[in-house]
Structure 1
Amino acid sequence: MSVRVLTVGFDGLAPRTAYDVWRLRQQVFVIEQDCPYPDLDGRDLEEATRHVVLLEDDAVLGTLRVLDDGDWARIGRVVVAPSARGRGLAGLLMDEAMAVCGAREVRLDAQTGLTGFYAAYGFEVTGPEFDEDGIMHVPMTRNAGRPRP
């Protein structure tokens, strides 16, 4: 089985794929990480938002979204299914996200333990650590024009 990457706006998501994306985000962020938060925040529907979805056959293995925040892009909701972890799939997600973002400045809020992962993509910590829903995060930025790895 081969993993394929789907990169689309909201209207490009098949209904079953969209359902599986939101179910995976709920499974990991709300249930596994015990962080009840409003996942369906309206940003998935924005015209400029790009959903990056990893599929194996029809199963969603991972996903993230790239938001347009004006002068910069924002990567968020980065998640890999528990059953698919350890296969380098987060790297596939980030490779595609970096291609979507191009040379723009990119921002994200990284769980503190993942700063090294994002640093490999040119991100640098740009502020103090903060608690988001009981999990420590740091803001990170990849400056515009910085080459991708």
Structure 2
Amino acid sequence: MLSVSVKSFDELSLRELYDILRLRSEVFVVEQDCVYQDIDGRDSGALHLIGKKGDEVVAYTRIFRPGMYFEEASIGRVVVKGNYRQYGYGHDIIKASITAIANHFSEKRIRISAQEYLVRFYEKHGFEQEGEGYLEDGIPHIAMIRVPQAKHDF
């Protein structure tokens, strides 16, 4: 089972920060062959969801209160270590992120910038496409929004 903790930037240990940045670099820069500025100056304003299997960081997201990244609350830097994707940890970390936004920010509207190949994944969590696709750091993305509806778990 994935153990998920929520921490502010100042609550992260040096080891946790190192492991998070290593995972993000491993997937977003190396695996996806995308050269971009991952350390974007926004981590200090985010809450960080750290998914661990034992002592290993295998999943991660960062969440923002409304107005910090988008007008709505948002989830970003969604990542699961390659050899752990088969266990559904992506679903676990997204569910935990949605719950954390509700608990920490009292918000239910969530906007994300999703990589297009993950649209169906996010639709399973109540997100709907909005607008046209666009390139972000050379990768096709689409805006998606999750709005409160009876069919969602809030």
Normalised by the length of structure 1, the TM-score is 0.91
Q: Is the 8 A contact 2:2 2:92 kept in 1?
A: no
- 2:138 is the alignment partner of 1:139: no
TM (norm. structure 2) is 0.88
Q: Secondary structure at the match of 2:83?
A: helix
Aligned residue among 85, 105, 110 for 1:106: 110
- Counterparts of 1:1-149 in structure 2, within 5 Å, are 2-46=1-45, 49-70=46-67, 71-102=71-102, 103-143=107-147, 145-147=148-150, 148-149=152-153
Residues 43 and 67 of structure 1 are in contact (CA less than 8 Å); yes or no, is this contact kept in structure 2? no
Counterpart secondary structure, 2:145? strand
Query: Secondary structure of 2:131's partner?
Result: coil
- The residue type equivalent to 2:79 in the other structure is V
| 1:69, distance to aligned residue in structure 2 (A) | 3.4
Q: CA deviation at 1:104?
A: 2.6
RMSD: 1.4
CA distance in 1, matches of 2:101, 2:123: 16
- Cα distance in 2, alignment partners of residues 51 and 146 from structure 1: 26
Structure 2 unaligned blocks of 5 or more: none
Q: Distance in 2 between matches of 1:146 and 1:60?
A: 32
CA distance in structure 2 between the aligned counterparts of 1:88 and 1:82, rounded to whole angstroms: 12
Opposite residue 60 of structure 1, the aligned amino acid is V
Deviations 1:34-88 (A, max 9, x none): 1111111111101xx2111111121100101001232411111000001211100
Tell me the SS of whatever aligns to 1:129: strand
